[in-house]
Amino acid sequence: MQTALESANRSPEAYFANREDPLHAAFKAKAVIHSGPGGMPLMGAAASEAFEASLDRPRSGKTLAYLHVPFCETRCLYCMFYQNPLDPSAAHAYADSLVKELALHAERAAQASGPVHAVYFGGGTPTALAPEDLRRVLEAVKKYLPLANDCEITLEGRIHNFDDARIEAAIAGGVNRFSLGIQTFSTEIRRSMLRVDDADTMIRRLEAIGRYDEAALVIDLIYGFPGQTAAVWENDLATAASLKLDGVDCYQLNVFEKSPLAKRIASGKLPSAADAAEKADMFARSVEFFTNENWRRLSNNHWGRTHRERNIYNALGKSSVDCLAFGCGAGGRLFGSSFMLERSLAAYHARMAAGEKPVQFLMRPGANWALLREISAAMESGAIDLSSFKVEAGGKPVDLDSIAKPVVDQWVEAGLLLRRGRHLIQTVAGQYWHVTLAQLLMRWIEGALAEAAPDERSVRAARFDMGAPGAMHRLRPAEHGAHAQRANREAAREAGDTNADRSV
Ligand code: SF4
C-alpha cells in the first residue's frame, strides 16, 4: 500500500488488501488524513491576487461557510489545533475583526450570489466567545451571508464554560446545531488528557442544553486513548445513548508525532495509546452498538438519533462544493481553489486593519480535482457508485467502473467492500479503512486517466446527481516538483480538508 501511495506504481497488486484479517490488518499502514487532489500552490501576494480575481464570479450550487475561532482556555494533550490561549479582551477584538471580514466582500458575487446551506463555527473553542461577541458575530453572519432558509448553523465547542448566557446568545443568534467535544465520559482519562470537567459535569450540562430543545445536540467521542479499555469505551457509548442527543461522532485518536501526548507517552508518563488493531475493534463495537440502538448511519463515523441531526456541513465538507472562510487560520475553497487565511493572530489583525482579506495561501485546483473530491466524499459516506461519475479523457467518455475493477474486485474478495446494485458498499472493515481505500482508489484512477489521455493535461469530470458548482470545469494541469508536492500536502491538511475534523 505504501508503495502504491508513494510511487506511481501501476500494478494492481500494489493496491491489494490482506485477505486474512481485513478489519485489523487490511494494509500495512493506515492513512488517517484525507490527502487533497493537488494543484498549483500560491503564497502571499500571488495568493491574494488569485483570490481577489475570483470575487466577481457568481457562485452556484451548494455552499458552506466556515468561521474559525482560534482560542482555547486550556490545551488538551492530544490536540494539534491549539493556536492561542483564551484572553477575553483578545477574543473581543477578534470578534470585531470577524464582523469586518464578513462585511468586507458582502457585495461581491462570490459571497453574495446563491444561498449558503451550512455555516460552521470551528476552532479552537467557539463556545468560549463571550455572549455579546457570539451575538455580534451571528448577527453579521445573518446580515452579510445569503443564508438559505433551512441553513444549518453549527457552533462547535466544549462543555467547559458553555454557560446558560452563551447557550442563549447562540440560540437567539440562530445557531441550530451544537457540536460538542466530549471525547470520553471517563473522568480519569479526561484528566490525563488535561480536559477540565469531570463526567458528572459533562452529563449535567448536556442534559441542560438538551432541555432548551432549540437545536440539534451532537457530541464527539474519541476511541484509543491511553488507558481507555474496551469496558471504558463501552461505557462511553452507553452513556451517550442514555442522553437525549441528536447525534454522535466517533473518531479514532491520532497520536501526532509532535503532540504533547506523544511526548508524554515516549517519556513513560502515560501508557501507549491503542494500536490500529485495538482501535479497529473499538470502531467495530461502535458500529454494532449504534446499529443495535437503531440510530441512523450518516457517515462512517457519524450517527443520528433524531431527524433534527442533518450533518450538512460535514457531509459536504469533503466534496467539491464551495466553502467561504473567515477568521485566523480558517481554510476554505472557492471555484476549486483551496485557500487558507493567516494563521498568526497579529498578521490576521494587521491585514484586516488594512482592509484586506487575509489570504496567506491558495492552491489552484489540479487536474481531476472535482472528481477526486467527490470520490473522497462518497467513500466517507460508506458507499460509492462509480458509474455516477461522468468522466472524459482525451475527448472520450471514461468508464470508472471498468477502470477501478482490477483493484476493487480484490477489495470485494478481501472483505472490505460488497457489491449492491451499482454501489460498492463498505463492510465494517472497509469503513474502518475508508480513508486508505479512498486514497488508493483516487491514486489508481488518477493514474488510469493520465494513461488514457497522455497528451491532454486536463480531464472533464462531473457527477450528475449532485449540485457541485465546479463539476464541469475544464481543469488546470497539476503542477509537479518537490515544492508543489510539499505545498499540496500542506494545503490538503490546512485548507478545506481539516476544518470539519477538528475536535474540541
Ligand atoms: S481539543 Fe479543542 S479545546 Fe482542546 S486544545 Fe484542541 S481545539 Fe482547544
43-86 tens-digit pLDDT: 999 999 999 999 999 999 999 999 999 999 999 999 988 999 99
**Ligand 1 site-directed mutation target among 68, 82, 343, most atoms within 8 Å of CB:** 82
The whole-number pLDDT of residue 37 equals 59
Evaluate if residue 485 carries a pLDDT over 80: no
- If one compares 453 and 439, the residue with the highest pLDDT of the two is 439
**Ligand 1 site-directed mutation target among 68, 81, 84, most atoms within 8 Å of CB:** 81
The hierarchical CATH code for the domain 40-317 is 3.80.30.20
Of the listed ranges 98-107, 362-371, 419-428, the least confidently predicted one is: 362-371
Instruction: Find out whether the peptide bond into 124 is cis, omega within 30 degrees of 0.
Output: yes
Evaluate if residue 465 carries a pLDDT over 60: no
Domain parsing of the chain, residue ranges:
2-37+368-478, 40-317
**Rounded to the nearest whole angstrom, what is the distance from the C-alpha of residue 156 to the centroid of ligand 1?**
11
In this structure, the residue with its CA closest to atom 4 of ligand 1 is 76
Evaluate if residue 489 carries a pLDDT over 80: no
**Rounded to the nearest whole angstrom, what is the distance from the C-alpha of residue 77 to the centroid of ligand 1?**
9
Phi, then psi, of 426 in degrees rounded to 5: -75, 135
In this structure, the residue with its CA closest to atom 5 of ligand 1 is 75
- Counting from 1 in the atom list of ligand 1, the atom nearest the Cα of 504 is 2
Give me the amino acid identity at 259: S
The Cα 503–Cα 424 span in angstroms is: 29
**Rounded to the nearest whole angstrom, what is the distance from the C-alpha of residue 192 to the centroid of ligand 1?**
14
Evaluate if residue 470 carries a pLDDT over 80: no
Average pLDDT of the residues in 13-34: 88
In this structure, the residue with its CA closest to atom 2 of ligand 1 is 504
| High-pLDDT (> 70) share of the chain, % | 87
- Counting from 1 in the atom list of ligand 1, the atom nearest the Cα of 158 is 3
**Rounded to the nearest whole angstrom, what is the distance from the C-alpha of residue 261 to the centroid of ligand 1?**
13
**Ligand 1 site-directed mutation target among 74, 76, 259, most atoms within 8 Å of CB:** 76
**Rounded to the nearest whole angstrom, what is the distance from the C-alpha of residue 71 to the centroid of ligand 1?**
9
**Rounded to the nearest whole angstrom, what is the distance from the C-alpha of residue 384 to the centroid of ligand 1?**
33
In this structure, the residue with its CA closest to atom 7 of ligand 1 is 124
**Rounded to the nearest whole angstrom, what is the distance from the C-alpha of residue 81 to the centroid of ligand 1?**
7
Evaluate if residue 463 carries a pLDDT over 70: no
- Counting from 1 in the atom list of ligand 1, the atom nearest the Cα of 80 is 6
Q: 496-499: list long-range contacts, CB under 8 Å, 24+ apart.
A: 496/36, 496/317, 496/323, 496/331, 496/332, 496/333, 496/338, 497/33, 497/34, 497/36, 497/318, 497/331, 497/338, 498/33, 498/331, 499/66, 499/68, 499/120, 499/122, 499/317, 499/323, 499/325, 499/330, 499/331
Of the listed ranges 30-39, 248-257, 279-288, the least confidently predicted one is: 30-39
Evaluate if residue 487 carries a pLDDT over 60: no
- Counting from 1 in the atom list of ligand 1, the atom nearest the Cα of 502 is 7
Of the listed ranges 114-118, 123-127, 193-197, 492-496, the least confidently predicted one is: 492-496
Evaluate if residue 496 carries a pLDDT over 60: no
- If one compares 123 and 489, the residue with the highest pLDDT of the two is 123
**Rounded to the nearest whole angstrom, what is the distance from the C-alpha of residue 79 to the centroid of ligand 1?**
6
The whole-number pLDDT of residue 139 equals 98
The Cα 342–Cα 439 span in angstroms is: 28
Report strand pairing: 302-304 vs 322-326: unpaired
In this structure, the residue with its CA closest to atom 3 of ligand 1 is 504
**Rounded to the nearest whole angstrom, what is the distance from the C-alpha of residue 341 to the centroid of ligand 1?**
19
- Counting from 1 in the atom list of ligand 1, the atom nearest the Cα of 183 is 1
Average pLDDT of the residues in 21-40: 79
**Rounded to the nearest whole angstrom, what is the distance from the C-alpha of residue 367 to the centroid of ligand 1?**
35
**Rounded to the nearest whole angstrom, what is the distance from the C-alpha of residue 444 to the centroid of ligand 1?**
36
> Could you tell me the three cell numbers for 249?
461522532
Q: List pLDDT tens digits, range 299-338.
A: 999 999 999 999 999 999 999 999 999 999 999 999 999 9
- If one compares 73 and 31, the residue with the highest pLDDT of the two is 73
The whole-number pLDDT of residue 456 equals 55
Report strand pairing: 216-223 vs 116-123: unpaired
For ligand 1, residues with CB inside 6 Å are: 72, 75-76, 79, 81-82, 123-125, 158, 181, 503-504
Contact (CB, 8 A) for 267 and 232: no
**Rounded to the nearest whole angstrom, what is the distance from the C-alpha of residue 504 to the centroid of ligand 1?**
4
In this structure, the residue with its CA closest to atom 1 of ligand 1 is 504
Average pLDDT of the residues in 354-362: 97
Evaluate if residue 474 carries a pLDDT over 90: no
- Counting from 1 in the atom list of ligand 1, the atom nearest the Cα of 124 is 7
Given pLDDT bands bounded at 50, 70 and 90, which one contains residue 462?
A: very low
Give me the amino acid identity at 428: V
> Could you tell me the three cell numbers for 413?
474478495
**Rounded to the nearest whole angstrom, what is the distance from the C-alpha of residue 76 to the centroid of ligand 1?**
5
Evaluate if residue 38 carries a pLDDT over 80: no
Average pLDDT of the residues in 401-408: 96
- Counting from 1 in the atom list of ligand 1, the atom nearest the Cα of 123 is 7
Evaluate if residue 461 carries a pLDDT over 50: no
Given pLDDT bands bounded at 50, 70 and 90, which one contains residue 32?
A: low
User: Can you name the residues that pair with 463 across neighbouring β-strands?
Assistant: 389
The whole-number pLDDT of residue 315 equals 94
Average pLDDT of the residues in 4-14: 75
Evaluate if residue 457 carries a pLDDT over 70: no
